[in-house]
Amino acid sequence: MPDTPQPSHPPVINRDHWEQVSGDYSNQVLSVFENDKQHLVARSIEAFAQKHPGATAADLGCGVGQFTPTLARLFKTVVACDLASTGVQATRQRCASYENVSSHRLDLSEDPMPFEPVDFALCVNVLIMPSLDERLRAWRCVTNQVVSGGTLLLVLPSLESVQMDLIQRVDNLIDQGHSCEEALAQGQSSRASSQDLQQGIHRLDGLPTKHYFQDEIEYLLGEHQFDVQEMLKIEYSNSRDADSWDWLVRAVRR
Ligand SMILES: C[S@@+](CC[C@H](N)C(=O)[O-])C[C@H]1O[C@@H](n2cnc3c(N)ncnc32)[C@H](O)[C@@H]1O
């Protein structure tokens, strides 16, 4: 039975939600840090740090700080920030032995940044808010936190991956003997409004989440004065997400 279509205005995912997720992170979020099959994110961080000794870094939307110690070991100073105070506290505990790490609770869509732009900014699955207004402000903030010539390493949910999953689901239903009409009705993601679908908003871990297609990422980064250097598929080792991928994007600010 298809779900009732949702209202067309995108829901606001508020701070309470992320506070609750950060308190139960391993059960509620696919950890890129733990499941990146080829360790592409870690390798990209290391490659930058090796070429730029003494560089500064930021972990924007650090969550519970899984990537922050890696940055702390490789960069001169690291600033970590997140909307959720539970996440910031967890990051502080995790990085207690590093004197070069500072952390802040802040909203990337609203708050002034309490630190200078850095040479290397990591932003893993943060620019995913369904509200266009909130997302555009967060994009502006994240891209402004990188110095000219500096690097932004982004992980973004892939729209191509969701689309492939839907196509395969419909195909499997047809293989099982369903008519095309039945397969399309059962296979589609009917909880999203047509506006959500146009904007690439699909549910991930039960949450309406912005997904991006490759050309869109290149376009958005260009609009923010960044050139894409590399775009790779991050594949995951846990069985639930084995067939899906995210985009790992390395871009340099002009
Ligand atoms: C999917 S988690 C990823 C966390 C972390 N980057 C990681 O890879 O483990 C998304 C994170 O973005 C943070 N976040 C969402 N909206 C934010 C905002 N407006 N400002 C700052 N952080 C935000 C959430 O609190 C959450 O910790």
Task: Provide the pLDDT for residue 6.
Answer: 47
Cβ–ligand 1 contact at 125 (below 6 Å): yes
Calculate how far, in angstroms, residue 199's C-alpha sits from the geometric centre of ligand 1. Answer: 20
Task: Provide the pLDDT for residue 3.
Answer: 45
Task: Provide the pLDDT for residue 186.
Answer: 84
Calculate how far, in angstroms, residue 78's C-alpha sits from the geometric centre of ligand 1. Answer: 17
Q: Going by CA atoms, what residue is nearest to atom 13 of ligand 1? A: 61
Calculate how far, in angstroms, residue 37's C-alpha sits from the geometric centre of ligand 1. Answer: 21
Atom of ligand 1 nearest to the CA of 108: 20
Task: Provide the pLDDT for residue 107.
Answer: 97
Q: Which letter does DSSP use for residue 36 in this model? A: B
- In a structure prediction context, what are the per-residue pLDDT tens digits for the chain, which is 254 residues long? 344 444 445 555 688 889 988 888 888 888 999 999 999 999 999 999 999 999 999 999 999 999 999 999 999 999 999 999 999 999 999 999 999 999 999 999 999 999 999 999 999 999 999 999 999 999 999 999 999 999 999 999 999 999 998 899 899 999 999 999 999 888 776 567 888 888 999 988 778 999 999 999 999 999 999 999 999 999 998 766 678 899 999 999 99
Atom of ligand 1 nearest to the CA of 109: 19
Calculate how far, in angstroms, residue 126's C-alpha sits from the geometric centre of ligand 1. Answer: 5
CA separation for the pair 188, 151 (Å, rounded): 38
CA separation for the pair 106, 114 (Å, rounded): 9
Calculate how far, in angstroms, residue 83's C-alpha sits from the geometric centre of ligand 1. Answer: 7
Contacts of 217 (CB under 8 A, 6+ apart): 154, 156, 228, 231, 247, 249
Sorted by where each begins, the domain ranges of the chain are 15-158+206-253
Cβ–ligand 1 contact at 83 (below 6 Å): yes
Beta strand pairing call for 207-210 and 201-204: antiparallel
Q: Using alpha carbons, list the distances in angstroms from residue 175 to 37, 166, 244.
A: 30, 14, 21
Task: Provide the pLDDT for residue 11.
Answer: 54
Task: Classify 205 as helix, strand or coil.
Answer: coil
Q: Which CATH number fits domain 15-158+206-253: 3.40.50.720, 3.40.50.150, 3.40.50.300, 3.40.50.2000?
A: 3.40.50.150
CA separation for the pair 1, 181 (Å, rounded): 14
Cβ–ligand 1 contact at 22 (below 6 Å): yes
| Residues in the chain, overall count | 254
